[in-house]
Structure 1
Amino acid sequence: MISQPTVRVLIIGAGIAGMAAAIALRRTGAAVDLIDIEPDRTVLGAGLTITGPTLRALRQLGVYEEVAAHGYVGEGIRVCGVDGTYIRDIPTPMPSGSGVRGSGGIGRPVLYRILSSRVLASGVRPRFGLSVASFSQDVNGVDVAFSDGTSARYDMVIGADGIYSRTRRQLFPAAPEPRYTGQSVWRMFVPRPPEVDRRHYFLGGEVKVGWTPVSATRMYMFVVERTPRTVRAAHELPAGLTELLEPYGGYVETFRESIREDTEIAYRPLESFNLPGPWHQGRVLLIGDAAHPTTPQLASGAGMAVEDALVLAEELGRHREVTATFEAFSARHEQRCRFVVESSIEIGRLEQEQAPPQAQTAVVERALARLMEPV
């Protein structure tokens, strides 16, 4: 029996998409180099909401048990009014045999630690503070020149370097740039009361408020606001968030009253774009936010990134040839990712129009039902 040659892969970007790709591709026997432009692994940010389909992808990646142990997994989404009164529950059942719960959440730094540990266990040693200065490709491979003056040749290059991807600009100079959606999001960690056992939305007001448990004792609260694109200084955030939460009752009121001048609050504008397909050219492929950045309304950005990695590895294992692998990847996953982006934008549009809660949640339910289908 003739053994297959080892496929040499460069992954640019050590975020969720890049680390998941490193883990999945190593299972195929590929030799993987993973680089990131940031000089160290300081992970900022609040929590991540995780849907059932994302939990399924994390299980296929091999990290579900750790996510469940260090984060939160449960069922359902509770919808409440501005005053905190119960409206209804959105069920989040996963298909029988999936082996996961229907909903979850985790702190972003915690998920990064879990994935980083698996990357190292796979034998990959990420190199930080390193970027691609340039690359050129032919029918047999990609020659990459790095920012430190070194160079190497690869069979495949994966751009997983986020919404502001340098790889995308190098590969597709005419690609669209990220555009502001008209909404910004505020996030802060709050204590998780023992009786809070699921995600919550508070709908019907001028802003959308919600929270997601991320551990046994903590959850993160988010506020999605329609506003012109605004730069806010850190010292302005506590007063600004307090004002936005003024109409809200229940636990939201309790958390509003706990905000102090030194409360840590994250604030960022929401951006997206629609990149025409295919997301590859020759032997270079974009995945994750580099190809399909999504706003957080459907809580599926991380899930699509992990699915990208899984589908790519499965198709490489099936074809062992780059062109066929990329074509199969596109045929199998591109439209699913576009669906997530488009559904998230649609929910954001309804939020900005202050559409009735049932109109907003109907889009969520339809989208989650479709994402429960096998990849």
Structure 2
Amino acid sequence: MTRESISSIATALVVGGGIGGMATAISLAERGVRVDLIDLDPDWRVYGAGITITGPTLRAYRRLGLLDEIKQAGAITTKTRLYRYDGTLMQVLDEPVIEEGLPATGGIMRPVLHRIMQTRVKALDIPVRLGVTVTALESDDQGVDATFSDGSTGRYDLVIGADSVFSAVRELAFPHMAPAQPTGQGCWRISIRKPPGLSESEFFLGTDTPCGITACSPDNVYMWMLTAHEERERFMDEEELYTTLKELLAPFGGNAGWIRDNMTREDWINYRPLAAALQPRPWSSGRVVLLGDAVHATTPHLASGAGMAVESAIVLAEELAAADSVGKALAAYEERRFDRCRFIIESSIGIGRLQMEHRPPQEHAALLETALARLNEPF
């Protein structure tokens, strides 16, 4: 696919080597920008189980040129089944195909997705520096002077902060913003072999601890569960994670019950509290701009965090290619992204609130269906 070249900038620094940062680096480099990518992790790793890839997220990855690799390495489905927690089928949601030739929905293991993106970054000869972040940013009308944590410096036409919900770039350049706020829920995840009867994505509702299962390959799935978050004096160890999740799954039937009965201590289990934030405008300060969790961090209720980050990366590159000045491009990027990100975050938090208020599962399903329909709209 031919990309319109960018003439408004020649060089860019992308801070953060996760999904949003890599998507940004790829989008800019393919349009002729000389990109440096840095990440604080010296091994450029990713932790996590699987990731649900909805139709809108698949659409964004197709625009990025990575759809075929994701289809080959992941799992594609066409429906989502909604169950009561005891395994009683409530509703089957047909996932619409939002573009010709685009799969409806699917899943992939997060480390596999990162390797696919890392391979593209390397193929584009994008320099990657690991184990460093930025410690100072000085922006003027022509560019940004960056100081790095290893004492080195560099000057760039644009700096993009895609460095997670704990963004160092946000801390340095955006004093009007604040850290993401806890939502009151926590998320459990487990990676495990695929239950024999699973054919589509599944949600289990009608309890204080809703959960869902997503196929990530022909043989593997991940399951998530949402619970009210309780502050603890220390992190749970592997044994506590295993026994607690098994207890939480006690009332469940269907494939969620199968996972409870077949999970082992060797399966990867994780728990983390949820936080979200739509940061106030402006999202740029001079020639420094934010995207991804650094500026629009959401919860997993709509499986849209990765998709939002990739969309933002594509939109930023498109606006830089279309505008005759960096200022106009950053304003247009923000204008295109703000309301869509707000809707996704507010809807995700709203679904979580329904769960914490013990609302009927039909209300969850209705809000979920409305939100997914809005997500299918062009970005």
TM-score, L = length of structure 2? 0.95
219, 226, 229: which is aligned to 1:227? 229
Q: 1:261: how far off?
A: 4.2
Describe how 1:73-88 pairs up with structure 2 within 5 A.
73-88=76-91
Matched-pair contact (CA < 8 Å) for 1:72–1:214: yes
Matched-pair contact (CA < 8 Å) for 1:6–1:29: no
Distance of aligned partners of 1:257 and 1:275 in 2 relative to their CA distance in 1, 3 Å threshold:
same
**Identity %, equivalent residues:** 45
Query: 1:202 — aligned with what?
Result: 204
Matched-pair contact (CA < 8 Å) for 1:157–1:285: yes
Query: 1:323 — aligned with what?
Result: 327
The AA in structure 1 aligned to 2:12 is V
251, 254, 269: which is aligned to 2:258? 254
Matched-pair contact (CA < 8 Å) for 2:53–2:105: yes
Distance of aligned partners of 1:248 and 1:195 in 2 relative to their CA distance in 1, 3 Å threshold:
closer
Structure 2 CA distance, aligned partners of 1:320 and 1:192?
51
Matched-pair contact (CA < 8 Å) for 2:189–2:270: yes
Per-residue CA deviations over 1:3-31 (Å, capped at 9, x if unaligned) read 94752100000000000001111121111
Structure 2 CA distance, aligned partners of 1:261 and 1:65?
34
Matched-pair contact (CA < 8 Å) for 1:176–1:274: no
Structure 1 CA distance, aligned partners of 2:106 and 2:251?
28
Matched-pair contact (CA < 8 Å) for 2:229–2:273: no
Structure 1 CA distance, aligned partners of 2:205 and 2:7?
55
Describe how 1:145-294 pairs up with structure 2 within 5 A.
145-230=147-232, 231-294=235-298
Structure 1 CA distance, aligned partners of 2:225 and 2:181?
20
Instruction: Tell me whether 1:344 sits opposite 2:348 in the alignment.
Output: yes
Matched-pair contact (CA < 8 Å) for 2:25–2:35: yes
CA RMSD of aligned residues (A): 1.5
The AA in structure 1 aligned to 2:192 is V
Matched-pair contact (CA < 8 Å) for 2:299–2:349: yes
Distance of aligned partners of 1:315 and 1:238 in 2 relative to their CA distance in 1, 3 Å threshold:
same
The AA in structure 2 aligned to 1:41 is W
TM-score, L = length of structure 1? 0.96
116, 123, 133: which is aligned to 2:135? 133
* Structure 1 unmatched runs, 5+: none
36, 39, 55: which is aligned to 2:58? 55
Matched-pair contact (CA < 8 Å) for 1:47–1:107: yes
The AA in structure 2 aligned to 1:177 is P
Query: 2:23 — aligned with what?
Result: 20
Instruction: Tell me whether 1:72 sits opposite 2:75 in the alignment.
Output: yes
Structure 1 CA distance, aligned partners of 2:354 and 2:74?
30
Greater shift, 252-261 or 68-77, is seen at 252-261
Query: 1:117 — aligned with what?
Result: 119
Q: Which runs of 4+ in 1 moved over 6 A?
A: none
Matched-pair contact (CA < 8 Å) for 2:46–2:110: yes
Matched-pair contact (CA < 8 Å) for 2:137–2:173: no
Structure 2 CA distance, aligned partners of 1:300 and 1:130?
28
8, 13, 25: which is aligned to 2:11? 8
Distance of aligned partners of 1:320 and 1:74 in 2 relative to their CA distance in 1, 3 Å threshold:
farther
Q: 1:320: how far off?
A: 4.6
Matched-pair contact (CA < 8 Å) for 2:54–2:105: yes
Query: 2:3 — aligned with what?
Result: none
Query: 2:313 — aligned with what?
Result: 309
SS of the aligned residue for 2:195 comes to coil
The AA in structure 2 aligned to 1:369 is A
Matched-pair contact (CA < 8 Å) for 1:37–1:130: yes
Structure 2 CA distance, aligned partners of 1:110 and 1:297?
22
Query: 2:302 — aligned with what?
Result: 298
Structure 1 CA distance, aligned partners of 2:107 and 2:223?
12
Greater shift, 130-139 or 294-303, is seen at 130-139
The AA in structure 1 aligned to 2:354 is L
Distance of aligned partners of 1:9 and 1:348 in 2 relative to their CA distance in 1, 3 Å threshold:
same
Per-residue CA deviations over 1:305-343 (Å, capped at 9, x if unaligned) read 000111011111111521111011011111111111111
Distance of aligned partners of 1:261 and 1:193 in 2 relative to their CA distance in 1, 3 Å threshold:
closer
Query: 2:34 — aligned with what?
Result: 31
Structure 2 CA distance, aligned partners of 1:361 and 1:57?
25
The AA in structure 1 aligned to 2:288 is V
Q: 1:101: how far off?
A: 1.4
The AA in structure 2 aligned to 1:220 is Y
Greater shift, 302-311 or 185-194, is seen at 185-194
Distance of aligned partners of 1:102 and 1:5 in 2 relative to their CA distance in 1, 3 Å threshold:
closer
Q: 1:146: how far off?
A: 1.3
The number of equivalent residue pairs is: 372
Matched-pair contact (CA < 8 Å) for 2:198–2:255: no
Q: 1:249: how far off?
A: 1.2
SS of the aligned residue for 2:231 comes to coil
